[in-house]
Amino acid sequence: MFAKKEFRLVVAGGGTGGHLFPGIAIAKAFCAKQPDTRVLFIGTEKAFEKRCVTREGFHHAVAGASGIKGLGFRKKLSAAVKLPLSILGCMIKLLRFRADAVVGVGGFSSGPVILAAWLLRRPVVLHEQNSVPGIANRLSARFAAKIFLTFPGSEAWFPSEKCSLSGNPVREEILGIEAENQLKPSPTLLVVGGSQGAVALNRAITDALPRLKALGLYIIHQCGESDVERVRACYEEAGMEGEVLPFIDNMSGAYARADLVLCRAGATTLAELTAIGKGSILVPFPHATDNHQEINARYLEENGAARMILECRLNGKDLAQLLETLLSDPAALSTMGGNAKKLGRPEASTVVADGILSLTKKTT
């Protein structure tokens, strides 16, 4: 009797946590359904990406592609020259790995992998995290058999017959926090500006510290490596309690302790907030591609799940006043969290995993 063939899944894309973490969630959900699976991530050279992937027990390789958006003519030309070699290299990687299917999660590094998979006639699935799709997924759509979306309305950018609404996959450790004991002696604010921090959020919070101290507020603040010393000095000067960290490794623990979250409006962050039912103040990154973070944030605000402040209007005084209003009204915070929960799709990773399996017709 022949042994059952091991399934080989490739996750294409990365570069940011917003692309990478959904890919990891999809891979883990797929492995839960198809235990005899090996997973290869093909993405960028960024150290954090390789670290996150290998920590989960998956293999990592580099696509060898370069982004083009926002570059000058010479750099765009250089990226274009590299593209054929990148596609060829990705074809070799897929053949050596003996890939059965490829799921693209966005980012410039996903493009060559998707095209290589199509040339090799491997099934391709895309997942789009944002309300406005990025360039890589828009260009890759023609090569995909299925496209999974996070936000209603995003199908306008793709062939509608390929699209399904799945939500944005969230890591298992985040989904599990709602069972934790969240009783605390004082209200807790979580400030997260992304993996590198956000200078605008850091400045607004540090300007607001004298007023926030009067609230008896405790702050968990991820401020980024480059700003950590300045921010810590501001907390010490204000005599403010809190944890000022360059990066938060245990996000599930931080979410569990928080009564309210101040953050950017990246799709992964919003998926996590809605999956666990956590109210937030959202400050969209103003330079995000196609202004997608503001569109993401407005969707939550219009559904009563968050409050939005545009960065151009963000200042310490107004932020302190809003925090005081929200944190002094537990009923309003609870309503905001409940509205966020209604928007959550904690089953998203399983939906995408099922979609991949349905294409390959290889079930457990």
- Summarised one tens digit per residue, pLDDT across range 231-252 is 999 999 999 989 999 988 888 9
pLDDT band at 195 (very low <50, low <70, confident <90, very high): low
pLDDT at 290: 84
Does residue 318 belong to any structural domain of this protein?
Answer: yes
Is 130 found in the same domain as 36? yes
- Which H helix or E strand runs over 22? helix 17-33
Output the known binding site for UDP-N-acetyl-alpha-D-glucosamine. Answer: 16-18, 130, 171, 195, 248, 293
Same domain, 45 and 145: yes
Specify the pLDDT at position 269. 92
Provide the terminal-to-terminal Cα distance of the chain, rounded to the nearest Å.
Answer: 17
**Annotation: binding site:** 16-18, 130, 171, 195, 248, 293
Sign of CA dihedral 346, 352, 353, 357: positive
User: Comparing 191-195, 214-218, 247-251, 271-275, which segment has the lowest mean pLDDT?
Assistant: 191-195
22 and 151 within one domain: yes
Q: Say if 2 falls within a structural domain.
A: no
Quick one: 153 and 12 in the same domain? yes
Question: Which pLDDT score, from 0 to 100, does residue 335 have?
Answer: 97
Find the Cα–Cα–Cα–Cα dihedral 128, 131, 137, 142, rounded to 10°. 100
287 lies in a domain? yes
Confidence of residue 331 (pLDDT cuts 50, 70, 90): very high
The answer to whether residues 192 and 94 belong to one domain is no
**In the numeric block, which tokens belong to residue 123?**
């099934």
Give Cβ neighbours of residue 161 (< 8 Å, ≥ 6 apart). Answer: none
pLDDT at residue number 239: 93
Do 131 and 263 have their domain in common?
no
Query: Which of 83, 109, 138 is CA-nearest to residue 289?
Result: 138
Residue 189 belongs to a domain: yes
pLDDT at residue 175, rounded to an integer: 86
Query: Do residue 24 and residue 113 come from a single domain?
Result: yes
Asked if residue 300 is part of any domain, the answer here is yes
- Does residue 356 sit in the same domain as residue 328? no
CATH of the domain at 40: 3.40.50.2000
* Cβ atoms < 10 Å from Cβ of 218: 20
Q: Is residue 358 scored above 60 in pLDDT?
A: yes
Q: Please state, in angstroms and as integers, the Cα–Cα distance from residue 233 to each residue in 79, 188, 223, 281, following that order.
A: 42, 20, 12, 24
Mark whether 182 and 155 lie in a shared domain.
Answer: no
Cα–Cα distances in Å, from 80 out to 65, 83, 89? 9, 5, 15
189 pLDDT band, cuts 50/70/90, is very high
Q: Do 271 and 153 belong to one domain?
A: no
Task: Quote the domain boundaries for residue 23.
Answer: 7-170+346-360
Lowest-pLDDT choice from 47-56, 79-88, 177-186, 208-217 = 177-186
Q: Is residue 286 one of the residues assigned to a domain?
A: yes
Question: Quick check: is 211 in a domain?
Answer: yes
Query: What pLDDT is recorded for position 336?
Result: 97
Higher-confidence position of 68 and 250: 250
Check residue 18 and give its pLDDT.
Answer: 85
Is residue 35 domain-shared with residue 97, that is, in the same domain? yes
1 within domain boundaries = no
What percent of the chain clears pLDDT 70, i.e. is strictly above it? 90
What pLDDT does 80 receive? Answer: 56
What is the rounded average pLDDT for all residues in the chain? 89
| Pair (90, 180) in one structural domain | no
What's the domain count of the chain?
A: 2
Percent of the chain with pLDDT strictly greater than 90: 73
pLDDT digits (tens, 9 = 90+) for 1-57: 344 579 999 999 988 888 999 999 999 999 999 999 999 999 999 988 999 999 999
Strand, helix or coil for residue 107: coil
- Chain segment 254-309, per-residue pLDDT in tens: 999 999 999 999 998 999 999 999 999 999 999 888 898 999 999 999 999 999 99
Give the C-alpha separation, 102 to 122, whole Å.
7
